[in-house]
Structure 1
Amino acid sequence: MTPEGKSFRDKPAWKLILVLTLTALLTWLYFRSADVVPGSHVNYTRKLRELQLFDEQLNSGVVASFAGLIENYDSQRFYLAQIDKTLLELRNIPRWVEPTDRKTIANALIKLGDIHQQKALNVDRFQRIHAVVRNSSLYLPIAADASLAQLSPTEQRDFKDFVRRLISYTLTRQKNTQEHQYLTEQIKTLTLRHNTQPLATALQHAEIVLNSTPKALKLVNSITRSDSMAQLEDASQLYLATYRKALTEATYYQTLLYALSLLLVGYALYALFRIGRDRRSLIIAHLDLENRFQAQRRAEEELRLYATMFTNASEGMTITDATTKIIAVNPAFCQITGYSKEEVIGKTPRILNSGRQNDVFYQNMWNTLNSQGQWKGEIWNARKDGSIFPEWLSITAITDQNHLPSHYLGVFTDITERKQSEARIHHLAHHDALTGLPNRLLLSERIQHGIQTSPSSHLKTAVIFIDLDRFKNINDTLGHSVGDDLLIQVAHRGLSVLRETDTFSRQGGDEFVAVLTGLSSRQEAGRICDELLNTLCQPYLLAGHELTVSGSAGIAVYPEDGDNATELLRKADLAMYRAKEIGRNTFCYFSAEISTTSIGELLLENDLFTALERGELLLHYQAKVDSRTGELVGAEALMRWNHKTHGLISPQIFIPLAEESGLINAMGEWAIRTVCAQLRSWIDEGLQVLPIAVNISAHQFVQQALPQLLADILAEFAIPTQLIELELTESMLMGNASHAASTLHQLKDMGIEVSIDDFGTGYSSLSYLHQFPVHALKIDRSFISQINENSEPIRLASAIIAMAHELGLQVIAEGVETEVQARYLVEHGCDISQGFLYSKPLPAADFAKQLKLG
C-alpha cells in the first residue's frame, strides 16, 4: 500500500464518501424491500372479497324478488352501485405490482367489468318484466272475482279451475310445455266465448302472467349463472400470484439489508455512548420545556379566569387554597382594601382583620362554612391605611372530586354607604326632624336605660313632661314657620339647662319630655324642673316680635311612681295636666289623687268590651292611588268606634285600650272577616274590586294560627288571596325576628302580600329587613308632613324611597295632604300614595261609588 493510499483512507473525505455510499445503498435496499406494503395488499384483497360478496348479494336479491320475498328492487340497485364503485377502486392496483403484471390484472378487471355490465342489463330487464308479472298477479284475483258474477255455475267452475291451474303453474317456477299450451288454449277459448269487460281484463292479466313468467325465470337463470364469479376468481388469482412474487423479491432485499446493517452495528455501538449522553441532555431540556409549558398553560387559564370573573366585577373577590392562603384577588379587591395583589398573595384573609369581631364570631363562621359549604353575613374589615369599613361577605367552599375543600371563594361588597344611609335613617327615625331632639322611640329607650342604671336603693330617675302654654295661638296668628322657630329655640334652651347625662326630647307638637338620671331625691327633680321652666319662659324674639311663652310640667319619679317607661310617661302626663289646671307655668309631682282623673279612661275601656256585641265597631276605607296617574289601586281598612254616648272615637284612643285589655285579637279577626264579607258583597254586585289592606296588631301577629285564620276566612267567603294585604310595623317584626320570618314566609306561600307600616319610626335596620319577604314599605305620615316648599333638598322620605327600591320593594306614602307633597313623591319615584288629598276614609257604601267610577 502506498503512502498516498494510506493518506487517502485517513482523510475525513473518505469516511464521508463511505457513509454516503452506505446510506445510499441502505436507502435503495430499504425501498426495494418495502415496496410490498401490507396495508395496501390487505385493502386490495378486501376490495376483491367485497366485490364477490356484492355479486352474491345481487344474485340473492334477484332470486328473492322473483320468489316474491322482496317487494322492491332497492337492494339490487344498491349492490349494482357498490359493484361499480368497487370495480372502479380495484383499478387502482398497488404500486409494487410490476408493469406487465399490472396490465394483465387490468385486462382481467376490464373483462370482469364487461360481464357485470351485461349482468346489470339483465337485472334491469328482469325488474321491468317482473314488475309487470307482479302487478298482473296482484290484479288477476280481483278481476277474476269480478268476472264470476257474469258466468253460469258450470262456467264459474271451469273458470275457477283455470285460475287455480294458472296460479299453480306460475308458483312452480318450472317450464311445463304441455301445461303452458293448455293454459294458452283456455285463454283463447274464454276470450272468444265471453267478451265482457271484467273477464277480458282478467284474461289479459292471465296472459301476461303466463307469458312473462318464463321470461323472468330465464333472466333470473342468466343473472345467477353469470361468469362474473369465475372471472372475479381469475382476477383474484392473478393478483395473488403477483403479490407472492413481489413478496419474494422484498424478502431477498430485506436479507441484503440485514447483512449490510450488521456492518453498521459496530459504528452504532460506538455512537451509542454519544447518543446516550446527548439523550440525557435532551431529557433535561425536555423537562425544562414541559415545566415552561405547564407554567404557561396555568398562566393562560388564570388569565381567562381573571378576564371573565375578576377584572370587570364591582365586588371584591378573593380565592384561597385549602389552607386559606390567598392565591388570587381581583382589581375591585385592591381598590376597596388598598392592598396590591403582590401584598396579599400567599397571605391569609386575616390581613384584613379589624378586631371588631371576636374569636367566637369567626369560630361560628367556620362551623357554618364547614357544615353547609357556604357562609354569608356582615363583617367589619380594615383597609391598608387602617380605616375600618363594613362589608357584606359571602364565602363558598369549592370542593375537589373527593368532596373535600380545595379552594375558598370570597365575594364582598363595601356597604359603607348603605350603613351610613341606615345610620342616617336611624337618626332621623329616632330624632325629631325639626329640633333634632330624641323622639318618642328613643325617649323610651333612654328612660329604660335610666331605670336600669339607677338602683332603687339610693338613686332615682325622673321623667318631666312639659307642654307649652297657648302654643296654638302663636301658630294660628303668626304662622307655622314662626311656631317651628319657637320650638327650635325651646329645644336649645332645654338642652342648655340639663346635664350631659340627661335627655331632652320632643314628643310632637309642643310637648317636650326631660329624663333626669342619677338623682338623689325627688326634690332635686323639682329644682331642675323649676330652672327649666324659668329658662323657657324668658322672652323669645320671633318674626320681629318679643314674645313670652310659658310651660306646664308634670314629674313622675322612678321607683315611686312606676317601674317602666310607659307608666312613668303616663303619670308625668297626668301631672302636667294637673299643673295646667292649677294655673300653668308651674309643675306638679304625680300623686295618687291625680290618678283618679283616669277613671273616665277605665269606663271607656269597660264599654269597649261590649262594643263588638253591640255592633258599634265599623270600618272605613281610604283609597290608595298610583302616585303618577292618580288611578285607584286599592284601599286601607281603618277601624272606627261609634260609641253610644261619645260618638266616633279615634283609633288612637281605643286601640291602645284594646291591646292592654286583650280585646285586640277579637277585633283583628272581626276586621279581617268584615273586609272579606264586604269584598264578597262587592264581587256579587259585579264591581271591579281592588286589594284591601288590613292592619295587624303585634298581639295578633305573634299568634301561631294567623296564617290558618286567614286561610279559613278567605275560604269561607271564597275571596282570592291577592285581594287581602296585611300591614305590620317594624317593631312588631323585630320583636321576634325568627318567628316573624317564618310567619311571613307562610303568608307569602299563600299569596298574601305584606307591607311594613309606619316605616322609619321603628328599627329601620336594612341588614335585617331584607331577610323578610315583604312587598312594600309604608312611609310614616310624620315624614310626609315635613315636605313643603321650604324643605331642605335632602329629606328622609326620599332616602326611604331610594333604599326601598334598592331592596326591590314598593313604597307607599300615607298622609299626603298637599299638591307639593304629591309632586315631591312623584319626582322621587314613590309608587303609591294615600291621604286626604285623594280621599278621606269613607264608609263602605261611599267607597263602593269610587269602585264604580274606577
Structure 2
Amino acid sequence: MTTIMSKIKESMMTLRAKINLYFSLLFILVALIIFLVNGMTNYLFGSIFLLVIGLIQTRVFLQCDVLSRITQLDRTIQQIKTTKDLSIRADVKQNDEISSLTSDFNLLIGTLEQLHEEKTQVAHFDSITHLPNRKKFYQDLEQQIQEVSISSECVGVALMDLDRFKVINETLGPAMGDQLLEQVARRLDLLLEDYGIPLYRIGGDEFIFILSKRTEKEMVEVLDQILEAFQQHFLIQGQPYSITTSIGVSIYPRDGNRIQDILKNADLAMYQVKGHGKKGYLFYTEDLQRTQNRKFQLEQELAKALEQGEFHIVYQPKVNARTETVIGMEALLRWKHNQLGYISPAEFIPIAEEIGLIVEMGKWVLRKACEQNQAWIRQGLPPLVVSVNLSTAQFHETDFVDQVVHILQNTGMNPEYLELEITESLAMRDIKQCIQILEDLKKLGIHISMDDFGTGYSSLRYLQQLPIDTLKIDKSFIDAIGTEDKKELIVTTIIAMANILKIKVIAEGVEERHQVTELLNLQCEQMQGYYFSKPLSPGDFQLFRHNRNNNLHLREYTENIV
C-alpha cells in the first residue's frame, strides 16, 4: 500500500512538473499569437485539446473525479472552439492542480477575448470619428442586400463628400481638419440615429450610409435633413466654419446587382453634384452613365486635339455702343472634332482643367491670338486690343510672366495691345500673389480686366488693391435688366463704383435692345454680346470691323437713350 501511494505521489509530482512545462510553452505560444496578430486561435485551442488528451491518457488521472473534471474542461474547450465565443469560462471548483490548470486556462481565454475585441475595434472602426469604417460597411451592406434579395424591397447607398474640405484642411492644418471631421460625424450620426441608419466613414472626407427598405421619397426626406444639418456652422476652437456636402445615391437592385457597381454609381452621382455647384444630392440614372462615357471619350480625344489641329480661335467684337465702333475683341477657343463636330467650351474646358491640359491650351490660345492681332497690325489696320482669358492653373505657373514675355517677343506684338482676363475666384485664391503678378504684367504695358464680376467673392474691398483696368459685368446681371430689380441695382452699383475708381466697365452677354438702352443710360458704353455680333472667324471679324467703322451702323436702338 505504501509503495502504491509513493508511486501516486511521484506521478502527481511529475504531473505538476508537466503542467508547469506545458503552461510555460502555452504562454510562449500566446505571446507569439499576440505578436503575429493573426487568426491562429483555432490552432491554440487545438494545442490545448491535445495537451488535455495527453494528460487524460496519463495513468495519474485514473481517479474518476480527476477524469470528470478534465473531461468538463475539454467540453468547455470544444464549446469555445465550435461557437467562437471567447466569453465562455470553465468552472473552478477546488483548490488543486486541476483547478489551477482551469484557472490558468480561463485567464488565457480572457486575454484572447480582450485581444480579439481590440482587433475588432481596429479592424471595423475609424480612429478619428469612431464610426464604423469601410470594412464594416461592406459587411453590413452585403447583409442588407441578402435580406432584401428575397423581397421586392430595395437598398439605397448614399455616398457623401465634404465640399472644399481639402482647402480647409490645408489652410487650417490636419489637426483642425480632424476636429471638423469629428464634429461632422457627431452631428450626422445623431441625426441618422433617429432614422435607425448607421453612418460610416470610409476614408478622407467621405462618409456613407445605407438607406435600407425605404422608398425613394423616404430617402429624399433623409437627404433633405442631411443638407439642412450643414446649414449650421461647425465650431472649431471657438471659431465658426461653414462647409457643405455633395451626396450621390445609388439603389440596389435598380442601379446594379453587385456592391462595386452600386458604389461606382453612387460615386458618379456625387461627382455630378460637385460638377454642378456642389451642395446637394443626386440619384444615379442611366443618363449619368452616358454622360460619364462621353466625358471619358472627350478626355481621350482632347489629348490629341492640339496635335491634330482641331482647335481654332474665334473673335467676338467689343463695341462702343454710343459710337457703334469696334474697340477691341476677345479671343475664344473652339474645338471642332473630326467625327463629333463642334464641342462646347462649357463641356471641354472643365475636362481640360481636370486632366491637366488647360495650361498647354492656354499658352496656345495666347500665342495664336497675339500672332493674329500682329498680322492685322502689319496689314496696316488700326491696332486693337485683343483679350485672352486665363485659367487659374496657367496664371499660377511659377514662370507665367516669363511665358507672356516670351510669346510677345516671338510674335512681335506690342504689350499695349494685349489684355489678360482673370476671374474673381482666381484673384481671391491668393490675393497677395495675384497683386504681385498683375503688377509685373502692368509694368510691361499689358491691360488687365476682371471677368464675370459680381458672381464670385465679395471682392469690392479688394478692388482698390488690384491693378486692373476694366470690369466685365457678368451676363447673368445683364439678363436681369428690366426683369429683376435687385440684380439691376447691382449693375448700377458696379458701374457707379467703377466710375469713382476710374476703372472702365464693359457689359458682356448683351442680347436685347432694351439692355443697350439701359446700359447707356447708366453711362456704360462698352458692350459685348450677340446683339452686336457672335464670335467670328478672323476673316469675318475683319469684315465686321470694316463695316462698323465705316458708318454701316444700326442706330435705331439709340432713340430712347438719354
Query: Cα–Cα, structure 1 residues 791 and 737, in superposed 2: closer, same or farther, change >3 Å?
Result: closer
1:556 to 229, 240, 248: 248
Figure out how many residues of one structure are paired with residues of the other and give that number. 324
The alpha-carbon deviation at position 682 of structure 1 amounts to: 1.2
Within the candidate set 474, 477, 480, 1:780 is matched to 474
Letter of the aligned partner of 2:463 in structure 1?
Answer: L
Please list every run of 5 or more consecutive structure 1 residues that lacks an aligned counterpart in the other structure: 1-442, 462-516, 534-553, 582-593
**Corresponding position of 1:811:** 505
Equivalences for 1:648-727 in 2 at 5 Å? 648-727=342-421
Residue 745 (1) aligns with residue 439 (2): yes
Candidates 605, 619, 622, aligned match of 2:313: 619
- TM-score, structure 2 as length reference: 0.51
**Measured at CA, do residues 566 and 781 of structure 1 come closer, stay the same or move farther in structure 2, by a change above 3 Å?**
farther
Most deviating of 676-685 and 808-817:
676-685
2:523 to 811, 814, 829: 829
- Partner of 2:505, secondary structure, is strand
TM-score by length of structure 1 reads 0.35
CA change 1:792–1:765 in 2 (3 A) is: closer
Give the Cα separation in 2 of the matches to 1:681 and 1:784. Answer: 34
Identify which range, 786-795 or 819-828, moves more after superposition: 786-795
Aligned residue for 2:322?
A: 628
The amino acid that maps onto 1:556 is: G
Aligned-partner residue type, residue 510 of structure 2: V
Deviations 1:549-593 (A, max 9, x none): xxxxx95169x8569986653499998575586xxxxxxxxxxxx
**Which one-letter code corresponds to 1:569 in the other structure?**
K
Aligned match for 1:850, one of 521, 527, 544: 544
State the partner residue of 1:473: none
**2:128 aligned residue:** none
Find the counterpart in structure 1 of residue 92 from structure 2: none
Structure 1 residue 684 displacement after superposition: 2.4
Cα distance in structure 2, aligned partners of 1:602 and 1:748 = 40
Q: Does the aligned pair in 1 maintain the 2:320–2:527 contact within 8 Å?
A: yes
For the 8 Å contact 2:223–2:281, the answer to whether it is kept is: no
Contact 2:511 2:529 in 1 (8 A): yes
**Could you say which residue in structure 1 is the equivalent of 2:532?**
838
Q: Contact 1:459 / 1:521 at 8 angstroms: preserved in 2?
A: no
Are the counterparts in 2 of residues 460 and 557 from structure 1 also a CA contact under 8 Å? no
- Cα pair 1:694 1:725 within 8 Å, conserved: yes
CA RMSD of aligned residues (A): 3.9
Indicate how the Cα distance of structure 1 residues 836 and 556 shifts in structure 2: closer, same or farther if over 3 A, else same. same
In 2, Cα distance between equivalents of 1:444 and 1:786: 29
1:98-137 map, 5 Å: none
- Would you say the 8 A contact 1:555–1:576 is kept in 2? yes
Distance 1:842 1:624 in 2: 12
* C-alpha separation in 2, matches of 1:659 and 1:598: 16
In structure 2, the residue matched to 1:59 is none
Is 1:529 aligned to residue 220 of structure 2?
yes
1:417 is aligned to: none
Q: Which amino acid aligns with 2:317?
A: A
SS at match of 2:367: helix
Instruction: State the one-letter code of the partner of 1:806.
Output: I
Query: Residue deviations 1:426-452, cap 9 Å, x none?
Result: xxxxxxxxxxxxxxxxx9679999x94
Give the helix-richer structure, 1 or 2.
1
Instruction: State the 1:689 CA deviation.
Output: 3.0
Equivalence map 1:153-232=2 (5 Å) = none
The aligned counterpart of 1:293 is none
Distance in 1 (CA, whole Å) between partners of 2:484 and 2:435 is 41
Matched, 1:735 2:429: yes
Partner Cα distance (1:448, 1:454) in 2:
17
Q: Deviations over 1:251-306 (max 9, x none)?
A: xxxxxxxxxxxxxxxxxxxxxxxxxxxxxxxxxxxxxxxxxxxxxxxxxxxxxxxx
**Letter of the structure 2 residue corresponding to residue 768 of structure 1:** Y
Which of 287, 298, 306 aligns to 1:604? It is 298
Aligned equivalents of 1:520, 1:658: Cα separation in 2: 33
Deviation at 1:645? 1.3
Mapping for residues 461-610 of structure 1, pairs under 5 Å: 522=211, 527=218, 529=220, 556=248, 568-570=273-275, 576=282, 578-579=284-285, 598-610=292-304
Q: Whole-Å Cα distance in 1 between the matches of residues 402 and 463 of structure 2?
A: 24
Question: Helix, strand or coil: the match of 1:608?
Answer: helix
C-alpha distance after superposition, 1:463-500 (max 9, x if no partner): xxxxxxxxxxxxxxxxxxxxxxxxxxxxxxxxxxxxxx
Q: 1:640 matched to which residue of 2?
A: 334
Q: Which residue of 2 aligns with 1:166?
A: none
* Structure 2 match to 1:757: 451
Larger radius of gyration, structure 1 or 2?
Answer: 1
> Secondary structure of the equivalent of 1:795?
helix
Percentage of pairs with the same residue: 36
The answer to whether the 8 Å contact 2:370/2:413 transfers is: yes
Say which SS state the counterpart of residue 377 (structure 2) adopts: helix
SS where residue 808 of structure 1 aligns?
coil
1:702 Cα offset (Å): 0.4
CA contact (8 A) 1:448 1:564 kept: no
Residue by residue over 1:661-716, the C-alpha shift from the partner in whole angstroms, topping out at 9 and shown as x without a partner, is: 11111111111110111112212222223111000000000012222111111121
Distance 2:483 2:359 in 1: 42
2:492 aligned partner: 798
Change (3 A) 1:819 1:742: same
Change (3 A) 1:665 1:793: closer
Secondary structure, aligned partner of 2:442: helix
Q: 2:314 aligns to what SS in structure 1?
A: strand
Distance across 2 between alignment mates of 1:683 and 1:804: 31
Listed as ranges, the matches of 1:268-283 within 5 Å are none
SS in 1 for 2:305: coil
**Do the aligned residues in 2 keep the contact of 1:814 with 1:833 (CA within 8 Å)?**
yes
Give how far 1:788 is off.
Answer: 2.6
- 1:750: Cα distance to partner? 0.3
* Residues 1:760 and 1:565: Cα distance change in structure 2 (over 3 Å): farther
Provide the C-alpha distance between the structure 1 equivalents of 2:384 and 2:347, rounded to a whole number of angstroms.
29
Residues 597 and 823 of structure 1: is their aligned pair in 2 closer, same or farther, counting only changes over 3 Å? Answer: closer
Name the CA distance, whole Å, in 2 between partners of 1:568 and 1:706. 32
Q: Aligned equivalents of 1:599 and 1:580: distance in 2?
A: 11
Partner SS state of residue 319, structure 2: strand
Distance 1:459 1:531, change over 3 A: closer
- Shift in CA distance, 777/574, structure 1 to aligned 2, threshold 3 Å: closer
Task: After TM superposition, give the deviation of residue 765 of structure 1 in Å.
Answer: 1.8
Q: Is the 8 A contact 2:455 2:474 kept in 1?
A: yes
Following the alignment from structure 2 to structure 1, what is the Cα–Cα distance between the partners of residues 477 and 395? 26
Cα distance change of structure 1 residues 791 and 457 upon mapping to structure 2, 3 Å threshold:
closer
Separation of aligned partners in 2, 1:647 and 1:800: 39
Q: Helix, strand or coil: the match of 1:677?
A: helix
SS in 1 for 2:330: strand
- 3-state SS in 2 of match to 1:653: helix
